[in-house]
Amino acid sequence: MDISIGVVIPVYNRPEGAAAAIESVLSQAFQPKQIVVVDDCSNPALALPAALDDDPRATLIRLKRNSGASAARRAGCEALDTSHVAFLDSDDLWSPGKLSAQLELLERLGAPEMTAVSCGWRWVEPRRSPNTVHPRPSAKLADFVSGCWFCPGSTVLMSLAAHNRIGGFDPALRRLEDLDLFIRFAQGGGRLEVVPSAQVTISRARHATRADVDRAAARLRAKYFETGEAPLPPGLRRRLDGWLAVEEAAAARNEGQFLRMASRLFHSLLVAPRLGLQLGDWRQRAG
């Protein structure tokens, strides 16, 4: 299979970060066919860095209103004419060998359409030491409903046809969009494979608002519970509900609402009993 890669970079009011992210794309050993930067209604409007001025691969899309990363990624995918898509957030960075390592693994597997490739990553957070994480491969729906442990958006490479077949990113979501996408990917028979090295630096400086998380959690419950459009079996609904409650608790903590945080954590443990915060052991830490 002749694999071509399009990169989608959503940006909102982060021109310096976007420039660094784009530079990490331009530094790849395997160069993408397309680079689509989606300005999510930044103020002032985003301008592409000079390095892309005469680059025919580059496209800048400006959304008319701020719509969130999910809608921005969706708009970027609609502009692609490639076999595969890779996503990169504007505050994250790729190592130079990221795409080539993923492409090598994908080609070794025969490039099956319903296989996505992730990799290890380094969490970088203010006032904390970096932490390197490696997820393990999986094709189990039970894993994918239990939290977005497997690949932050900036790590994934997947078939554009598979992305489109499962409906792409839900533009109504401002949070939990990766969780939603991969639940549908797993429901469609998708499998995640993992490059055994850390190839992405992920910033953890962002804090989700309770309003965004609560709305996203409500939408996912409506979508995947008994009366939704893609209902899960009862056991998997409980696991998803348990993880959504963790996300709601974290958002409440971000806003100092500790009673709400405790309430959602209690609910999470009630519907999915366990000894730790995570619903399972899917991440293999290295370093």
Cβ proximity of 282 and 151 under 8 Å:
no
Tens-place pLDDT, residues 9-30: 999 999 999 999 999 999 999 9
**Average pLDDT value for the chain:** 93
pTM of the model: 0.94
Residue 121 has pLDDT above 90, yes or no: yes
Task: Tell the residue number behind the tokens 């809608």, with chain if given.
Answer: 71
Residue 281 has pLDDT above 90, yes or no: no
Residue 286 neighbours by CB distance under 10 Å: 12
Sign of CA dihedral 27, 18, 86, 277: positive
> What is the structure's pLDDT at 208?
85
> What is the structure's pLDDT at 287?
43
Q: Which one-letter amino acid corresponds to residue 17?
A: G
Q: Where in the chain is the domain with CATH 3.90.550.10?
A: 5-203
Specify the DSSP element, H or E, that contains 250.
helix 234-254
Residue 128 has pLDDT above 80, yes or no: no
- At the top level of CATH, the class of 5-203 is alpha beta
pLDDT band at residue 284 under the 50/70/90 scheme: low
146 vs 281, higher pLDDT: 146
pLDDT band at residue 125 under the 50/70/90 scheme: confident
Tens-place pLDDT, residues 178-235: 999 999 999 999 999 999 999 999 987 667 899 999 999 999 999 999 888 889 999 9
Residue 172 has pLDDT above 60, yes or no: yes
User: DSSP readout, 153-198?
Assistant: GGG-EEEHHHHHHTT---TT-SS-HHHHHHHHHHHTT-EEEEEEEE
Tens-place pLDDT, residues 42-65: 999 999 999 898 899 999 999 999
